[in-house]
């Protein structure tokens, strides 16, 4: 069953109104905190194709949906926002309700839950669809290896632990955005208003404004699949992290890493191991000369690097130099295999 996340069960309703009009509004999204036109607790306006503008009005959780969806009531809100002199056609309208909550566990024996069936978040930051895709990226390679008999069924337990961790991170960030948009206490409102006042005049405060920050891939800190780390390398590519892309002389890095386990070496060489623990291990050898970003994103203070990359492009382990035994052990860890010390 779906249980509330520790940050609290958050629920709200938004009225969506798509209107067709000729307007000179900027194409970037506009966001009103406590709008002066009183059409909602907050409001958003952003342009779509074919002269359609989407307007979102935050209504709160205790509403009469049938009353709110009556065309005359929708037009009253839109008129208050746009003013009496703006002509428009009401193309479509709806109300959506969001909740922030997740299941206790995403794996129940042979039944695995992903996407909206496992967790729900507010729409701010495109977290719903992105987290669902991340669930699939995490699960697909594990399920494939278990079905093929190349990994034990307990590998699927790591899907549960890693993606529950990701869901909690998403819900936390979503809840923070909701609390900033509609503060739940006098102190929170004082902080929000101070940030908005400062943001108009001081550049640093603009980064604190939270109207729904975009979803980012989750770093699986503490995952049971993580292997050794090298502290002299950048924190952003520590074990559990998603690999950042890099522009190379002849393309991009990420397309070279998908589809299976990859051993990435930079400024060093490694023994080609076509098959390890029954897994085809691809070897990608690069030089830092191929991109200045390799130093910043993968080498840090190290002169060379060896990365074991999972099929979902997350870092499994990393070292400064190649060690065949260490790589074999890290791959076994990433496969949830039982190994002897």
- Mean pLDDT for 274-293 is 92
pTM for this prediction: 0.83
So what CATH class is 105-206? alpha beta
Residue 21 has pLDDT above 80, yes or no: yes
Q: What is 235-334's CATH number, 3.40.50.970, 3.40.30.120, 3.30.110.40, 3.40.50.300? A: 3.40.30.120
- Kindly report, residue by residue over 57-78, the tens digit of the pLDDT: 989 888 999 999 999 999 999 9
* Residue 78: HSE in the Cβ half-sphere, 13 Å Cα cutoff: 29
Q: What is the pLDDT of residue 9?
A: 52
Distance CA 315, CA 225 (A): 10
The pair of structure tokens assigned to 275 is: 């098959």
Say which residue, 293 or 171, is predicted with more confidence.
293
- Describe the strand order of the beta sheet including 315-319 as a list of residue ranges: 282-286, 262-266, 305-309, 315-319
Q: What is the pLDDT of residue 78?
A: 94
So where are the chain's domains?
A: 2-100, 105-206, 235-334
Q: What is the pLDDT of residue 10?
A: 59
Fold observed for domain 2-100: D-Amino Acid Oxidase; Chain A, domain 2 (3.30.9)
């Amino acid at each position: 069953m779906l249980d509330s996340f520790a940050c609290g069960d958050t629920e709200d309703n938004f009225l969506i109104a798509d209107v067709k009009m000729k307007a000179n509004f900027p194409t970037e999204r506009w966001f009103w905190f406590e709008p002066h036109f009183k059409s909602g607790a907050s409001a958003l306006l952003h342009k779509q194709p074919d002269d359609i503008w989407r307007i979102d009005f935050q209504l709160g959780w205790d509403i009469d949906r049938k009353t709110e969806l009556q065309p005359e009531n929708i037009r009253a809100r839109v008129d208050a926002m746009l003013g009496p002199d703006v002509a428009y056609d009401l193309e479509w309208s709806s109300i959506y309700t969001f909740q922030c909550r997740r299941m206790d566990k995403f794996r129940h024996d042979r039944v695995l839950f992903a996407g909206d069936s496992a967790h729900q978040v507010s729409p701010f930051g495109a977290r719903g669809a992105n987290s669902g895709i991340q669930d699939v990226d995490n699960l697909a390679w594990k399920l494939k290896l278990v079905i093929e008999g190349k990994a034990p069924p307990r590998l699927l337990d790591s899907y549960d632990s890693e993606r529950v961790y990701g869901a909690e991170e998403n819900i936390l960030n979503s809840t923070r955005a909701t609390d900033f948009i509609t503060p739940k206490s006098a102190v929170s409102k004082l902080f929000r208003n101070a940030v908005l006042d400062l943001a108009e005049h001081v550049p640093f405060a603009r980064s604190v404004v939270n109207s729904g920050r975009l979803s980012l891939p989750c770093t699986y800190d503490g995952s049971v699949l993580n292997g050794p780390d090298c502290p002299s390398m950048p924190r952003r590519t520590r074990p559990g992290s998603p690999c950042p892309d890099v522009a190379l002389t002849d393309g991009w890095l990420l397309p070279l890493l998908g589809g299976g386990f990859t051993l990435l070496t930079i400024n060093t060489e490694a023994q080609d191991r076509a098959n390890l623990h029954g897994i085809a291990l691809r070897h990608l050898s690069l030089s830092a000369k191929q991109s200045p970003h390799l130093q910043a994103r993968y080498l840090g203070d190290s002169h060379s690097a060896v990365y074991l990359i999972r099929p979902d492009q997350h870092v499994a382990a990393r070292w400064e130099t190649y060690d065949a035994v260490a790589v074999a052990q890290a791959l076994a860890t990433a496969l949830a295999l039982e190994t002897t010390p």
